[in-house]
A and B are shown apart, each in its own frame.
Chain A
Amino acid sequence: MSKKRWQYLVSAIIMTSFLLAACGGGAAEPVVDTAAQDRIAALEAELADAQSSGGLSDEAIAGLESELSELNDNIGDLQSELSTSRSAECSYNAYRMGWVMDWADAGNIVDTVFGPNSDFQYTFWQHNYPELVEQFEALTESAYRNTDLESRAATWQEAEKIVVEDVVAVIPIQHYDRTTLVSTDVEFIFAPFGAPRLAQWSFNTGATTFRTAVGAAIPTLDIQRSTDTTSSFMIYQLIDAPYKFNADGTISPLAATSFDVSDDGTVFTIHLREDAMWSDGVPVTAQHFVDGISRLLSPDLANDYAYVMFDIVGAADYNSGDTDVLEAVVALDDFTLQVTLTDALSYFDSILAFSTFHPVRLDVIGLHGDAWTQPGNFVSNGAYVLVERNPGSNLVFEKNPLYWDAANVQIERIEVSIIQEPATALAAFENGELDYNAAGMPSEDIPRLVGTDEFIVTPRPGVYYMGLNTSARHTDNISFRRALASAIDKRSIIDNVSQTPWKLDATGIIPPEIFGFQGDAVGYVFDLDAAMGYLNEYMNAEGIEDAGSITIELWYNKGGTNQEILEAVEAMWESNLGIDVRTVNVEWATYLATLEECNVIGGGGF
């Protein structure tokens, strides 16, 4: 018996060591020498010290300097090694991405996504077209400071033209919208931004229990941390922002009654409703909103939406931890909130209806700690309270009896189910188990559903696009990028492939609902002759005889309708231009990680 046990031990040890070896081997990556970096910092400090005090001899300083430069060289070598070892992954010529806008200003797409400082684009145009970057930055600068809507929109259009037409860093494919299924028993309102507020919905049958489904788990009900649509959908039922979005994209008062803007446009004074109460009976005060904004910007939380508030004086510094106080957001009294901006920003009023202005109860968080978002603990100032929440399964909301507008809230109870498979969500809706399907539906069923009374299309400003890598072989040439942009028949993709004929094909990136939209006055329309002209121009310049010898890589992520759309793009490029297209279709997390890695190494080394 003891012999047996000994054998188990040996076998276990052998296998563990084998696996651990595999673990260690796998985790090893080319790493920049951090010890060297520390040494450099120390040397630099020493140098600066010596120079300021003058206490060191010249030779000593020269010695330190040479050591420093040597170390810097070493680091440079290591970094370039790192980038070449990674550059093999960054072989994409085109990638797919989309953006749904958060508020109604063209800057939220033109600059936030495609600007030279954006983290969300992987085209590297900012490295390859320095003069245009300068122009672009001058335009954004003036647009942000311009409160005149008309001329502001015109400025954004110029910036849009740089990205879409002059650089051809992006090929817009189609504009987004919101397609949902709502029972004919329900009167609904969808706003173009934010999530639907069910307090404004009602049944025309007199029913009071509303059943809906969402397509993903609800990661968080934390008012400041949430960014995704499913979490926001839940939070919008529980929490009221000062204003709310209307169906036409304008805003109207909710937790506030009005706001004033100072003459120079930088100081927003918001007057709050005085009869509002939290669901535990505590009055809603301006301090709760101040706490909400401070918590959003708090350096400890790393919130995704913190950037939305960076136009507030000192907000960015507060978020990065450089200052401890946020002086520009203050409660003047219990019901007056004041926010000071760095510049006059005409669009800032629409942010009053955005989730970044949600209030929070720090005392509740202090009391319950991490469990403050659980039913029983969560305190809301909105129309509903959270009564049940089962992770991965369902949530239940009931009407908040203390809500100031409770008399006008007709739906008494909301039951939310999490249904991840769209085919199931659709079947449940069609079987009468749901009143509103927010969980999506298979694209295959859309042609069957279009035209039914339940099928609702409402605006949701955003664009589905392809970015072009301006550093990669072939796509580093403007004529070639123009050829690619002109060779996609977007209308045919929308009508024949996706069969969603109501959708708008895009040539520019500003959506039709947004002031500044210019139709196909910007960008490239489908034009085969032009495309062939651009392609020939490129081939002549490069001395390429056969278009078939041009191979480009098209990257996209799995899921949704991406596959059919991108396969169509691939087919069109291949058949219209005669080039060879390799598609790389990756799952989302890998996709983002790879694109980001490429962004870090700056698109060099292709």
Chain B
Amino acid sequence: MSFIPPESDPAYQALYIHIPFCARRCNYCDFTTEAVRIDDSRIDTYLDAMLVELAAAKSRDLLGAIKTVYIGGGTPSFLGDQRLGKLVEAITEQIDGIREFTVEANPDSFTQQMARLLAGLGVNRLSIGIQSFDNHELTALGRLHDSKQAELALDAACQVFENVSVDIMCGIPLQTAATFQASLQQAVASGINHVSVYPLSLEAGTALAEAVAAGRLTVATDDEQARLLNQAASYLEAEGFIHYEIASYARPGFNSQHNSAYWTARPYLGLGRGAVGMSQQQSVRYRFDDQGILEQLDLRQQAAEDLMLGLRLLSGVPDGVVAHTQALLPTANDCLAELEGLGLIEHREGHFRLTKRGWLLGNQVFLRIWGLAE
């Protein structure tokens, strides 16, 4: 017996499905996933249970307002055509009118055949885990693909899909400004319309953290990370991408609708091992996973969270929202003024936004704002 997701009002807008399996765990990974053989029966058992969970969610009327679906992992493409196709079919059978349907894929398990199958079944967006086009960096990360496979996978994806996103990582061991630039350029040249740029984060207990602790590898300092993030912003903006969220760049019209649900605090449902959902019930906001409720936020905490999420976005936070926040959190205005004084946020055209400096030091901004509700 597993935890059944609570109802939500407003209804769930986005559905996340987690596939916790990979061919191999990457050196930096601390996500919920495990390396299994492709014929491991646990995969089939898991997918069977997922079909039941989907049917249950439908039966409890939780799927009626879902606009976006995202199958992430782990490595969804590792499932192979047959199993992935069956899952996608089950989802489209339960949900009408999906506007954006994204599947994550890794270059080592993605083929043009898979792209065609997914497109035929109603998937309209791919997110490819490239990370880098440099073979040394890929080896340091413990990725299963090399640069050639990354290139082939992207070509295959772009031939079939218009809406393709790639993940590019900065601060990888052995990475230089030049190799990072080359990775960005190669990604853009392939014809993608969305890029997520992430700094590598060292998570305790990962193979990479151990290698760094033992002095075998070094990772970028915060200053170096910041320089690389700036470099990405300048280059991608010059190429016509809009930096619409802290880590996300899109050509006009290709913003991720699914992620926007997270960033604008619209309720979302997560299904599968460790998948997090968010539900709104009267004045309480709940976060939960397949084991139970993780946290519940009161109105004050919600106001702080909304302010934090709003600042992540290029569109920023309108004055009206700030006024609402101020009513619940009397020190909000002082905090914003202080952040403005530090040059981390700015106020223009009736909106608060992060400055360039603020984008790089986002965590400091968010910690202060979260402190408002404590």
* Chain B binds chain A: no
Question: Which residues of A are in contact with B by a Cβ distance under 8 Å?
Answer: none
- Residue positions of B touching A, CB distance < 8 A: none
